[in-house]
A and B are shown apart, each in its own frame.
Chain A
C-alpha cells in the first residue's frame, strides 16, 4: 500500500501531507524532515527511488519527483511497483495542472482542501483507485459544485438567522 503522500518545497516547507497509516503528528513531521534531508542532498538526474527503512520503518521506500520548486513524494511498501508509483506522481501532478492551469506552488498553498479532494479520488486508504486524470477531474468538479452549492446555502442560512436574531 501507499503509506503517505507528501509535497515539500525546495526549502523544506511541507505544502501537503497525507498519511494512510496513522502516525502521531510529531512522527509525521520527523518523517517529512528526514525525507527532505535526503532529497536536498541528491543531485539532479539521479534515480528517484530511495530505501526509507531507516526513516519510516521496515519495508518502506519512497519515490520522489522534482517539479520546479516542489518535491512530490510517495512513501510505499513492497506491494507497490516502483515505476507505477512514479507514474502515479505524474497522474497527480497532471491532475493538479488540469485543475489549476499552470499550477505553481502558490496554488497548492492556497488550495489545501482541494488537494485533498483530488488526492482522495486517486488514492483511497493507501490503494490506487483511479489513474485517469480526466476521471479524477470529473469527480473533483462534481464535489466542488456540491461544496459551493452548500456554502451558498449556508450563507443564506446565516444571514437569515442573523437577521432573525436581531
Chain B
C-alpha cells in the first residue's frame, strides 16, 4: 500500500521547489512547467499519505491564486485535508477552501461537521481557522447550521476569538437573516466592551449593515452616540461616523445632536483620516449646519493646500460632494481648484475638472467653455477628451438648462468637432439632432454649422467625426429650407469622399440628399408657395442684417452680390474658394448653358430665392444626382441601395415630365396636373412635417397588445443566436443590372444618358478618373488624394488665444467664476421644447436586495422587541431567562410600528391625549427632574440595550414601557440627551 505513496512522499516537490522551478523557467516555458506540475499535483493529491496530500494542495493553492489555475476539482481533497489532526495540514486545507469554495461548490455541505468540530475546539487557532474559512465561504446552509456555535463564540472570554466571531456574524446575517434574532443582542452588548478591538469589530459589522439599510439601526443611535463621544480610537470613530452619516439624514433630531461632537473631533484630532471622515460626514449629511459646514470647508482648504497629493485629492472629492447643495464652498476655493486643473496627477485633474463644471452657470458658461477648450487643446488626448466630454454633459444637463444663447452653443459644438482626437462624436451627434428638434430658433445656425462641417472634405477622412457628419447631414436635409444654398449642400452630400463613410451614415447622406432635392424641385415648381412655406428666411436685404447672421461669409462675398445678384452672376464665379461651379461646368457641358448658376454664398432673400431656382440649375442638380447616385445602385448595402432607388425613381419621373411642365408654364396654362408635380408636392409636405423629441417613457404609455408576452424570458435566445452570425451585408445584394436605353426619352442631358447607358463598371471607372484628376467641385488646394488616412482637420482657430495656462486660468478665476449680475442679454432664450415629464430623469436606483430587507426586518424585530424567535429560547445561555422576560414585556407593543422612530413618535403623540390623565405619577416617582426628551432617550436605550446586563435597567424597563405609551407632549421631543 505504501508503494506509490512512499515514492511520492519521498520525492515530492515541496512548494519551495515549485517556486524555485517557476523562477528558473523563462516565461515561454513557464506554462509547460506549470502543466507538468499540475499533473504531479493531481497524482500526489490522491495519495493516502496526508502530508503528501496537503503539500500537493498547498502547491495548488499557490498556483491558483498567483497563476490563475482552476482548483475547483480539488474541493473534495481540500475537505479531506481539513479533517486532518495536524494543524499545519488543516491550515492548508482551510486556505484551499477559502480560496476556491463558493455557493455552488457541491461538496461544501460535507464541511459542516468539521467546521462545527473546529469551532468548538480548545485550540484558539483552530477555531480561528474555522472562523476565517466560514467568513469566506458562508452559504445559507452553513450559516443556519452553525449559528449556535457562532453565538457561543460571541460570548468567548478570549478577545482573539471573540473579534473573529463578531466579524463572521456579518456574513452569517447576510446569508441567514434569522440568525439576527439569535445573535443581535450579543452583538450589541459587545459595543460596551472595554476592549477597543472588540468595539472596533462590532462597529465594523454595524457599519456594513447600516450602509445597506440604515433605517433599522436608528434605535441604536444612543449607543453609537456614546462611542462617538467617548471613544479615542480613530478606527472605531471612523466607523461610527460612517454610520452617523447615514442615520443623520433619516433623523434630523439626531443630526442636531451629533453635529457638535463631530466638530469637536474635527478641531481636536491630529489624525488626517479622522478629520477627513468628519469633513465628509458634515459635507454629505450635515451640511445644513452652517458653522459646522464652515469649519469643514476650512479643513478642506487645509487639505487642498497640503503638499500631500492624497489629501489634495480627497479634499477635491469632498468639495464635489458638497457642490450640489452649497456651491459657495467650491467658489470659495476656486483658486485652488483651478490650480489643480494643471496638476501632474491625472486623478486630481479629473476631480478639479468636475468641480469647475459644477461652477458653471448660465452666466459664465461662455467664458468657462472658452478657457477649457483652449486648455483642452494643450492637454494630452485622454484629458482633452475628458474636458470635452464634461463640457458636453454639463451643457446638456436638464435639457440645456444653462444655455441661453443656442447659436453660440451650436457653433461651439461645431468647433469641438474639429478638435483633433475628439472622441465625443456620438454625444455631439446626439446633441446636434436633439437641439434641432427642440429649439426652433437655432435651426438656421445649426444648418450653417452643419454646412461648415459637411463641405470640409478633410473631415470625411477622420472616422471619429463620422457620427457628427451624420448629424450634420441629417440637419441639413431636415432643415434645408433654412439653407442659404441648397445646391451647394447637395454637392457636399454627394461629394466623392463620402465613400469613406460607413454605410449607415452614407445612407443618411443619401436620404438628406433626397430631402434637398425635393426642396429644390418644389421651390422651382411652386415658387410662390415655396416662399410662403419658408417664413423663417431672412426677408430683409439689409446688408447689416445678413452680416450679423454670417459675418464670415459676408466678408467673403460682396455687397453687390447680395443686393444685385442677377447682374453680377458672372463676376461671382470663383469668388468663393469653395465654389463648386467650375467642376460642375466641366461635367455639364452638354447643357450648353453659358451662365454660371448661382452657387455663391449669398444670403438668400425671398426674392432672390425665386430666381435662384432656374431651369438650368435644376437640370444641373438632377444631373448631379443621377450621376453620383447611379453607381450606388450596385452597392451591397441595402440601406443605401433602397434610398438611391427612391431618388432615382423621382429623378427619372421629373426628367420625363419637366419639359411638359415647362411648356404649360410658358403658355401660362392653369390647372394642368402633372404627375411629378403632385409627387413633389406630396413629398415636400411630408418632409415639412416637423420631427420632435420623443419622451423616454413614450413606449411605456403604449398599451400592451393582447396576447403579447412581454415578460417571457428571452435569456436562452442569446444562446440560440450565439452561433448564428449576423447576416453579412453582401448576402443581400439585390443590385439590378443596369439596362441600357431606358432613358432614351430624356431630352435634357446627353451626357447623363451616355453615362447611364454604360455599365456600372464604366461609371465607377469614370468616377475614379474624376477623382484622380480632381474633377470635382472643391478647389484644387483642398484636393488631397483620397485615402483612408485622416488628413489633418482644419486647424482650430483659437490657437492664438492659447497663451499661458496660468494666465488663462487666472483670468477664469477672476472673471467667470465670480457670481455676477446678469448681463442684459441681446436676445432672450429661445423656446426649448420639453416633454411633460422632466427629461432625462433616470429611474430610481433599485432597492436593496431582499436579503437586506430580511436582515433589517429581523433587526427591527429585535430592536423593537416585537417578536421572539423560538430559536432564541433553545440557546444554551444563562442570560436567556432575562431576555425572555424582557421580550415578554415588549410584546404588547403594537407590532405595526415597523417603520422607525418617527412613526413611533407619531403614535405616541396620537395616544397622548387620552392617556394624559392616567399614571403621570408613576414616572415622576421614577425620576422627577426628567424632561420629555430624556424619557424618549431612555425608551430608545431600553429598547436597544434592553438591560440584560444591568439589573437596575431591567427594573426601570417596566416604567419606561409605560412611558412609551403615555408620552406627554404633542411636541416631538429631542432624540438624545
Contacts and interface: CB of A to CB of B under 8 A. Distances in A.
Central interface residue in A47, A79, A151, by most chain B CB within 10 Å: A47
Contacts of A29: 68
B344 A46 contact: yes
B891 interface: no
Contacts of B344: 43, 45-46
B49 A127 contact: no
Contact of B95 (A1, A84, A116, A165): A116
B396 interface: no
A162 interface: yes
Central interface residue in A20, A117, A127, by most chain B CB within 10 Å: A127
A158 B49 contact: yes
Interface stretch (B205-213, B218-226, B454-462): B205-213
B37 interface: no
Nearest to B1: A165
Interface stretch (B164-172, B326-334, B546-554, B723-731): B164-172
Contacts of A127: 167, 170, 201, 204-205, 208
Contacts of A16: 65-66
B163 A112 contact: no
Interface string B264-301: 00000000110011000000000000000000000000
Interface stretch (B310-318, B397-405, B833-841): B310-318
Nearest to A148: B88
A15 interface: yes
A49 B347 contact: yes
A22 B50 CA distance: 28
Interface string A32-60: 00000000001101111111000000000
B239 to A, nearest CB: 8
A106 B322 CA distance: 46
B64 A112 contact: no
A20 B99 CA distance: 9
Given A17-B65, A82-B314, A125 B273 contact: no
A47 B95 CA distance: 34
Nearest to A130: B197
Contacts of A20: 136
B88 A151 contact: yes
Contacts of B128: 120
A49 B168 CA distance: 28
Contact of B310 (A49, A51, A143, A151): A49
Contacts of B314: 49, 82-83
A146 B310 contact: no
B866 interface: no
A50 B345 CA distance: 11
Q: Is the interface of B mostly helix, strand, loop or mixed?
A: helix
A57 B190 CA distance: 33
A63 to B, nearest CB: 9
Contacts of A109: 19, 23
A79 B242 contact: yes
B163 A47 contact: no
Interface string A1-34: 1000000000000111110101001101100000
User: Contact residue range for chain A?
Assistant: 35 or more
Contacts of A150: 86-89
B364 interface: no
B132 A124 contact: yes
A133 B68 CA distance: 30
Contacts of A113: 15, 58, 91-92, 95
A45 B167 CA distance: 35
Given A150-B86, A154-B50, A84 B125 contact: no
A116 B141 CA distance: 27
Contacts of B235: 84, 128, 131
A81 B68 CA distance: 30
Nearest to A51: B347
B586 interface: no
A146 B87 contact: yes
Central interface residue in B62, B65, B313, by most chain A CB within 10 Å: B65
A12 to B, nearest CB: 11
Given A46-B345, A87-B273, A129 B15 contact: no
B51 A25 contact: no
Contacts of B313: 47, 49
Interface residues of B, number: 71
A47 B309 contact: yes
A17 B2 contact: no
Contacts of B58: 113
A82 B272 CA distance: 10
Interface string A129-142: 11100000001001
Given A20-B136, A162-B6, A129 B201 contact: yes
Contacts of A42: 346
A34 B476 CA distance: 44
Central interface residue in A26, A150, A153, by most chain B CB within 10 Å: A150
Contact of A129 (B1, B69, B125, B164): B164
B784 interface: no
A110 B58 CA distance: 13
A46 B89 CA distance: 44
A125 B132 contact: yes
Contacts of A143: 91, 125
A55 to B, nearest CB: 14
Given A84-B273, A129-B197, A154-B86, A25 B69 contact: yes
Contacts of A161: 2, 49
Given A78-B211, A128-B235, A162-B6, A112 B62 contact: yes
A125 B200 contact: no
B112 interface: no
Given A47-B310, A110-B19, A81 B273 contact: yes
Contacts of B68: 25-26, 28-29
A30 B552 CA distance: 54
A112 B20 CA distance: 13
A162 B86 CA distance: 18
A147 interface: yes
A86 interface: yes
A165 B6 contact: yes
B136 A46 contact: no
Given A79-B211, A154-B50, A50 B347 contact: yes
Interface string B367-402: 000000000000000000000000000000000000
Contacts of A147: 87-88, 91
B505 interface: no
Given A18-B65, A49-B347, A125 B167 contact: yes
Interface in B121-167: 123, 125, 128, 131-132, 135-137, 160, 163-164, 167
A49 B273 CA distance: 14
A124 B86 contact: no
Interface in B81-139: 86-89, 91-92, 95, 102-103, 123, 125, 128, 131-132, 135-137
A142 B160 CA distance: 12
Central interface residue in A43, A81, A109, A131, by most chain B CB within 10 Å: A81
Contacts of A47: 309-310, 312-313, 345, 347-348
A139 B124 CA distance: 10
Contacts of B872: none
A98 B226 CA distance: 36
A15 B211 CA distance: 33
A154 B88 contact: yes
Interface string A62-83: 0000000000000000110111
19 contacts: A22-B137, A42-B346, A47-B345, A49-B347, A51-B347, A79-B211, A83-B272, A83-B276, A83-B310, A86-B310, A109-B19, A109-B23, A110-B19, A124-B131, A125-B136, A125-B171, A154-B51, A165-B1, A165-B6
Given A150-B86, A150-B87, 10 more contacts: A29-B68, A43-B344, A49-B314, A82-B314, A109-B23, A112-B61, A120-B128, A128-B235, A129-B201, A146-B88
The 7 nearest A-B residue pairs measured at CB: A125-B135, A83-B273, A46-B345, A165-B2, A47-B309, A29-B68, A47-B313
